[in-house]
Amino acid sequence: MTHNLTKRQTAWTLIVTSLGLFMVSLDNLVVTTALPVIRRSLHASISQLEWTVNAYTLTFAVLLLTGAALGDRFGRRRLFSIGLLLFTGASALAALSTSATMLDVARGLQGIGGAIVAPLTLTILSAAVAPERRGLAFGIWGGVGGLAVALGPLVGGAVVSGISWHWIFWLNVPIGLVLAPLAMRQLAETRGPDRALDLPGLGLASVGLLGIVWGLVRGNAHGWTSVGVVVPMVVGVLLVAAFVAWESRAAHPMLPLGFFRDRTFTLANVASLLMFFGMFGSIFLLAQYFQTVQGLSPLQSGLRILPWTAMPMFVAPLAGALSDRVGGQRLMTVGLALQGAGLLWIASTQTAATPYLSLVGPFVLSGIGMALFFAPVANLVLGAVRPEAQGKASGATNAIRELGGVFGVAVLASIFSSVGGYASPTAFVNGTTTAVYVGGAVVIVAAIVSAFIPGRPRAEAVGELVLEAA
């Protein structure tokens, strides 16, 4: 552990890791307001649009655990910088795309870079900050991640309206080229105790999850009982089951199943999976609503979503500091309940002619709920495992929540296609309303799950225990 860093070194660690998280998180949502333009520009189908989102989030989710393991083995600072450069190069390839397939491939490569960067931001920061101050540090880190969520649709809309959709990816290039050498200069190098790579586990998880998502995305277009849908999903489920069996006996598992013996770790991750399922699946559709139904520009659309997505930027740092005092599990439960209620409110209000002011209230409510969830979840998860296991725990929790987003986009888009579609504004609203009702209900279930997370000792006591263990 490197808690003996100077205040200046700790500050630089917080800045660099937060900016790394900002860059990879921005690309989760930066394409959302650009989707209608990309659909027309590249003549993309609904399934290709799903892959524009899911090609990134699926590779991101599957490889997060491997990214954490590579950092433990070869050095977290070094892999963090390499991941930034890979992400930057893939962003340039996405900007140069001339077809939906080329864009989806580039997005997959972005996901690989992001999978290296994201878990290492948390482990590098955790190693640099004393346990009793992690609530505040993680709150700032989460607030920057929330800023990326806030600016994603807005930046995407502004760039698409002002220049072209290609520039939403070009923006990453100068940031990455500056941040990678800055990381090598300012971050302390650390390694984890377990430096083995679980290649069989990686292969089983990657192919299995790809098969499941492949079937979900193609279901409406090809028929849910068709061979091309049923076979990939069945094979995918079997491979995921084989992955679980392998991890239970592997000498160096990429996902230690012993983590799940801790009730806090298990319930926090289940809640995260459900939260991202409902939130990302809903945003995928709602971000297109103002353009597809009401004929607004991408920038106008991004500005209208801002009351929802901007809330984490303001609330998450305060909630992070508060979580050390009142308990992170309480904030999570309240936040998830507010997010779920906001989605259900949106679904009940949305029509083809809904005035914008009628949506501001549920957008703000959803945003506050999202912030109250983001701030404490990292502290809860890392507090549930030993300090030397925090690298894999960080990778696991990031992977689980990103998988929630992948399945949320795939499932809710399938509901949207089966109930409505792009044929008319009415058809779009019908499909979106039903899908967002489902998304809101799933987030409410997440709130119920988080209510059963046990309370933790006060931050000072936890800090003493962790220091003794280190």
The domain locations on the chain are 7-184+254-469
Q: Average of pLDDT values for 188-193?
A: 74
Q: What are phi and psi of 95, to 5 degrees?
A: -65, -30
Q: Which of 377, 226, 370 is nearest to 311 (CA)?
A: 370
Q: Which two tokens stand for residue 230?
A: 């049923």
Q: Tell me: pLDDT of 303 over 70.
A: yes
Q: How confident is the model at residue 202 (pLDDT cuts 50, 70, 90)?
A: confident
Residues 6+ apart with CB under 8 A from 265: 259, 381, 384, 385, 393
Q: Residue 368, exposed/middle/buried by CB under 10 A (0-12, 13-18, 19+)?
A: buried
Q: Tell me: pLDDT of 81 over 70.
A: yes
> What is d(CA 92, CA 149) in angstroms, rounded to the nearest whole number?
21
Query: pLDDT tens digits, residue range 222-233?
Result: 777 788 888 988
pLDDT of residue 346: 93
Q: Which of 114, 70, 81, 88 is nearest to 392 (CA)?
A: 70
Query: pLDDT tens digits, residue range 222-280?
Result: 777 788 888 988 998 999 899 889 988 887 787 778 888 888 888 989 998 999 899 88
> What is d(CA 252, CA 243) in angstroms, rounded to the nearest whole number?
13
> What is d(CA 91, CA 175) in angstroms, rounded to the nearest whole number?
11
Q: Which of 110, 113, 123, 15 is nearest to 72 (CA)?
A: 123
Q: How many CB atoms lie within 10 A of CB 235?
A: 17
Q: Tell me: pLDDT of 365 over 60.
A: yes
End-to-end CA distance of the chain: 7
pLDDT of residue 235: 92
> What is d(CA 29, CA 469) in angstroms, rounded to the nearest whole number?
39
Q: Tell me: pLDDT of 93 over 90.
A: yes
Q: How confident is the model at residue 462 (pLDDT cuts 50, 70, 90)?
A: very low
Residues 6+ apart with CB under 8 A from 130: 3, 463, 467
CATH topology of domain 7-184+254-469: Growth Hormone; Chain: A; (1.20.1250)
Q: What is the pTM of this model?
A: 0.74
pLDDT of residue 468: 31
Q: Tell me: pLDDT of 141 over 50.
A: yes
- 13 touches 184 (CB < 8 A): no
Q: What are phi and psi of 166, to 5 degrees?
A: -60, -30
Alpha helix (H) residue ranges in 7-45? 7-29, 35-41
Q: Which two tokens stand for residue 279?
A: 């939130």
Q: Average of pLDDT values for 286-292?
A: 81
The SS3 call for residue 166 is coil
pLDDT of residue 417: 82
Q: Tell me: pLDDT of 465 over 70.
A: no
Q: How confident is the model at residue 470 (pLDDT cuts 50, 70, 90)?
A: very low
